[in-house]
Amino acid sequence: MTHVHVLLKKEEIEPEKLAGEIVIVLDVLLATSTIAFALSYGAKAVIPVSSEEEAIKLSTNYHPDDFILVGEKEGRVIDGFLSPNPSLLKSFVQGKVVILATTNGTVALNRSEGAEMIYPACLRNGEAVIEDITTHLNPGQKIIIVCSGSSNQFCLEDFYGAGYLVSCLREKLGVISINDAGIAAEALFLTDKQGGYDLLIESAVGRFIIDHGFEEDVREVVQVGVDLDVPIYQNKKIFRKGVVGSETNQT
């Protein structure tokens, strides 16, 4: 039987327990959704980093025409970076390496590096991610779903997303063992599968995004299962699965 464990925030990650396991990282508003959009818009790769300083240092490895800096800190766009709101990225990422720094999602991805496989997932691509995971799942492997949260706080939108993923896993695998957080997350999702927008705009981060004029981004983010691409995080870079190694580092 497959064990599924939901973590309520990135601070619960215990790196020493990730070896050999599969980790799915959720930051629905917005980092892992931004990653999905960037790849769909034609980015060569997304490199998640944990700070502005790390992003700037990493950018020196690339020709200026080959990358863009995207990021926020505590919800505010970093000076000299592009906003991670998907609607503002479409015209900029084609053919580029996106160096992405966020307060929560990219930090969660980097904290998960000890896992066997790491998937940055969101509502849009959850079914594709679960399909890939269950196709390649090894006997005894645990699936750990990480809700990134927000600065050590629980986030409703990530919890809802975790419930969606648990529901997908149950549909694919049948009987699974789920921790209490996963059971609660699935129950929340199943109460209103189509109500993601109404729920997310009531969340703290959702209200923040709406107040700053990006309602359409939220409407796009809450679409469930519409993206068939599978993003995979390997060797500190995120690619669409199947094109791993296609971006060119200029070092």
Per-residue model confidence as pLDDT tens digits over 108-157: 999 999 999 999 999 999 999 999 999 999 999 999 999 999 999 999 99
Non-local CB neighbours of 177 within 8 Å, separated by 6+ positions: 1, 2, 3, 4
Full set of structural domains in the chain with CATH:
2-236 (3.90.1560.10)
204 exposed, middle or buried (CB, 10 Å; 0-12, 13-18, 19+)? Answer: middle
CA 79 to chain centroid: 23
Amino acid of residue 145: I
DSSP 236-247: TEEEETT-TT-S
Report which of 100, 35, 37 is spatially closest to residue 226, judged by C-alpha positions.
37
| Tens place of pLDDT per residue across the chain (251 aa) | 999 999 999 999 999 999 999 999 999 999 999 999 999 999 999 999 999 999 999 999 999 999 999 999 999 999 999 999 999 999 999 999 999 999 999 999 999 999 999 999 999 999 999 999 999 999 999 999 999 999 999 999 999 999 999 999 999 999 999 999 999 999 999 998 777 899 999 999 999 999 999 999 999 999 999 999 999 999 999 999 965 544 444 43
pLDDT tens-digit series, residues 24-37: 999 999 999 999 99
- Rounded Cα distance between 46 and 113, Å, is 15
Strand positions, DSSP E, the chain: 2-7, 22-26, 45-49, 67-73, 76-77, 97-101, 117-121, 143-147, 176-178, 231-234, 237-240
Report which of 79, 78, 103, 81 is spatially closest to residue 92, judged by C-alpha positions.
81
